[in-house]
C-alpha cells in the first residue's frame, strides 16, 4: 500500500499531485460496487476506533483540557452509528430510479461525483470530517481531508490512523496552516465541504468559485433561545446551562442569547446561575471543564464580556460566591460561566458570535419582540424553544428562519440519521447527514429513451400551420384559465 508522509504535511505541488492521483484512480476504477464502499467504510471506522484513546488524549492536549470521556462519547462513538446506517442503506440509495412513460421512459443513474474535499473545524475536528467523509465514501467518491490546524496533535494522530487503512488514492488526510488551507480550497474538486466560521466560509466559497466547484458550507451564527410563558423554568434553566457548557461553549449549535418573559427573568437567571454551579462547583479545577481552545479565542471572549460590562451590562457569574473561578484564567484558558443582562446593540457581544461559556438574557413582553430581534439579524444555524407547542411557539416557528430547530432540548435536531442538517443564509448552504449527505455527494444523471411516433428532432424543424394553430389555441386556453383564477 502506498503511504503518505507520517505527518501528512504536503507542499502545494504535492497537494495538487495528490488530487491528480485520486482523480486518476477514480476514473480507472469507475463507480465502485456496494461491497467496495462498505469495505472502505469499515476501514474508516477501524481507523477511528483503533486510535480512539490516542485521539481523545491528543485532543485534550490541543484544548488544554477536554474530558476524554466527552471526546469518546461525542466524536468517536457517533461514527459507529453513522457508518452502520450508511452501510445498511447505501445499496438501496445507489440504485437507478425509473420514471415510466409511454413515449419518454427515463432512468436516473445515481453516480459518484469523483473526488470530494472535506475541510474540518477545530471545535469538533474528528466528527466533522469523519461524518461527511463517510457519506462521500458511501456515495462512491474518493476523499481528501484537510484537518484543522487548530488541533495539531490530533491531526497527526488522525492522519496516521487513516494512512494505516487507506491508500492515499482512496482517502487521504493533509495537515498544514493558512497557506495550505487556501491552496486546498482552490483545488478543482468535484465537491467541497467546509465546516467553520462564516468569515472563513466566504474565503472558501470564493476560492472554490474559480473552478465552479460546488460547495456545502456548514457555518455558525448567533443561535436564539426562547423560553415560553408555559415553560418549566427550573427545567429550561438546567438544560440551557448544560448546553452553554457543552465543549466549553465552543459549539456551532450552542445557544447565544435567550428571550425570557419579563416577569420571569430574575428567577430564570437565578436558576441558570445555580445550574452552572451545580454542574461545576469547582469550575477552576474541575477536570470535566473544557478549556477555550487557545489564547486568541480566550482574549476574544473576555473582551466581549468586558466591553459589554463597561457599556452597562450586568454580569452574573455561575460559580459559588468567593470562588477563585470567578476570575477568567488565561493560563488555563477557563472563563467562568457568565450570564449577561441589559445588553444593548452598541455592545460587541450583541453582534458577534460568542462561542464560549457566556449567555445573554433578554426580557420580552410579546413574542413579536423576539421574532423581530431574530429576523433583524443573519439567520442562525439553530433556534431553540422551551415550552409547549403553543400559539407563541407556532408563530415563532412560522415567522423565523434557521438551519434547524429543537424544542425542549439542545442539539437533538442532528441525531435523526436521515434528517437534513445545514444552515441558511449566513449560517451556511447545502445539507448533509444520511440520505441527504449521500445525495449531496452524488450526481443524478437522467437517461431518456425516445419512443415518440414522430421524432422530436423532426417536429422541431418542420412546424406545420396546423401545429401552430394548435399551439396558439393551447396558449389562449391556458391564459383564460389562469385569468379566471385571478378574478
Catalytic site residues?
A: 218, 252
d(CA 426, CA 397) in angstroms, rounded, equals 19
Other C-beta atoms closer than 10 Å to the C-beta of 111 total 17
Alpha carbon 181 to chain centroid, angstroms? 19
| Residues 6+ positions from 286 with CB-CB distance below 8 Å | 280
DSSP 385-397: EES-S-HHHHHHH
Q: Are strands 142-146 and 171-174 parallel, antiparallel or unpaired?
A: parallel
Cβ partners under 8 Å of residue 105, min gap 6: 98, 99, 448, 449, 451
* Continuous segment of H or E residues that includes residue 118: strand 115-119
Distance CA 119, CA 422 (A): 15
Give the pairing of strands 215-218 and 191-195. Answer: parallel
In terms of phi and psi (left: phi > 0; alpha: psi -120 to 50; beta: otherwise), the region of 140 is left
Scan for cell 383564460, then name that residue: 480
CA distances from 312 to 252, 267, 315, 345 (A): 28, 21, 10, 12
**442-448 and 106-112 beta bridge pairing:** antiparallel
Cross-strand partners of 109: 445
Would you tell me the crossing angle of helices 152-165 and 52-63 to the nearest 10 degrees?
160
Alpha helices in 168-248 (DSSP H): 178-185, 198-209, 233-245
Q: How far is CA 99 from CA 78, 91, 447, in A?
A: 36, 19, 10
C-alpha closest to that of 249 among 410, 73, 377: 410
Tell me how crowded residue 487 is: count the other CB atoms within 10 A of its CB.
4
Residue 283 in grid coordinates: 469550575
Residues 6+ apart with CB under 8 A from 150: 62, 121, 122, 125, 293, 294
Residue reference for cell 488541533: 151
C-alpha cell at 20: 491528480
Q: Could you say which DSSP state residue 76 is in?
A: I
Distance, CA of 185 to CA of 51 (rounded, Å): 28
Amino acid at each position: 500500500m502506498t503511504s503518505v508522509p507520517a505527518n501528512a504535511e504536503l507542499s502545494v505541488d504535492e497537494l495538487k499531485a495528490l488530487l491528480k492521483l485520486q482523480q486518476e484512480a477514480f476514473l480507472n476504477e469507475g463507480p465502485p460496487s456496494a461491497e467496495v464502499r462498505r469495505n472502505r467504510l469499515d476501514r474508516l471506522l477501524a481507523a477511528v476506533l483503533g486510535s480512539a484513546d490516542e485521539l481523545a488524549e491528543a485532543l485534550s492536549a490541543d484544548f488544554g483540557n477536554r474530558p476524554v470521556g466527552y471526546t469518546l462519547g461525542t466524536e468517536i462513538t457517533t461514527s459507529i452509528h453513522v457508518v452502520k446506517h450508511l452501510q445498511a442503506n447505501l445499496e438501496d440509495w445507489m440504485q437507478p430510479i425509473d420514471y415510466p412513460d409511454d413515449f419518454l421512459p427515463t432512468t436516473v443513474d445515481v453516480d459518484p461525483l469523483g473526488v470530494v474535499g472535506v475541510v474540518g473545524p477545530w471545535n469538533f475536528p474528528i466528527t466533522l470530517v469523519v461524518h461527511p467523509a463517510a457519506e462521500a465514501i458511501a456515495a462512491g467518491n474518493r476523499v481528501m481531508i484537510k484537518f484543522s490546524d487548530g488541533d495539531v496533535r490530533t491531526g497527526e494522530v488522525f492522519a496516521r490512523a487513516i494512512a494505516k487503512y487507506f491508500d492515499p488514492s482512496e482517502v487521504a488526510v493533509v495537515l498544514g496552516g493558512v497557506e495550505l488551507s487556501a491552496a486546498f480550497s482552490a483545488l478543482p474538486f468535484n465537491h467541497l465541504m467546509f465546516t467553520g466560521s462564516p468569515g472563513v466560509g466566504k474565503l472558501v466559497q470564493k476560492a472554490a468559485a474559480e473552478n465552479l466547484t460546488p460547495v456545502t458550507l456548514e457555518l455558525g451564527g448567533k443561535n436564539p433561545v426562547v423560553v415560553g410563558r408555559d415553560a418549566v423554568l427550573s427545567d429550561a434553566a438546567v438544560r440551557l446551562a448544560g448546553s452553554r457548557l457543552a465543549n466549553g461553549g465552543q459549539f456551532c449549535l450552542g445557544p447565544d442569547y435567550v428571550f425570557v418573559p419579563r416577569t420571569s427573568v430574575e428567577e430564570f437567571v437565578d436558576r441558570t446561575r445555580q445550574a452552572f454551579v451545580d454542574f461545576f462547583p469547582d469550575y477552576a479545577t474541575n477536570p470535566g471543564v473544557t478549556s477555550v481552545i487557545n489564547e486568541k479565542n480566550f482574549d476574544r471572549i473576555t473582551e466581549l464580556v468586558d466591553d459589554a460590562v463597561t457599556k452597562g451590562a450586568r454580569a452574573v457569574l455561575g460559580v459559588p460566591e468567593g470562588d477563585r473561578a470567578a476570575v477568567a484564567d488565561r493560563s488555563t484558558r477557563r472563563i467562568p460561566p457568565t450570564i449577561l443582562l441589559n445588553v444593548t446593540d452598541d455592545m460587541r457581544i450583541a453582534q458577534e458570535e460568542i462561542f464560549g461559556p457566556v449567555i445573554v438574557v433578554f426580557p420580552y413582553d410579546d413574542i413579536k419582540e423576539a421574532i423581530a430581534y431574530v429576523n433583524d439579524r443573519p439567520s442562525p444555524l439553530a433556534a431553540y424553544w422551551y415550552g409547549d407547542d403553543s400559539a407563541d411557539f407556532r408563530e415563532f416557528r412560522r415567522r423565523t428562519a434557521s438551519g434547524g430547530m429543537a424544542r425542549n432540548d439542545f442539539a437533538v435536531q442532528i441525531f435523526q440519521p436521515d434528517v437534513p442538517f445545514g444552515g441558511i443564509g449566513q449560517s451556511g448552504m447545502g445539507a448533509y447527514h444520511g440520505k441527504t449527505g449521500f445525495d449531496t455527494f452524488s450526481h443524478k444523471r437522467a437517461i431518456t429513451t425516445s419512443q415518440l411516433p414522430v421524432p422530436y428532432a423532426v417536429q422541431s424543424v418542420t412546424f406545420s400551420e396546423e401545429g401552430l394553430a394548435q399551439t396558439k389555441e393551447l396558449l389562449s386556453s391556458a391564459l383564460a384559465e389562469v385569468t379566471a383564477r385571478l378574478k
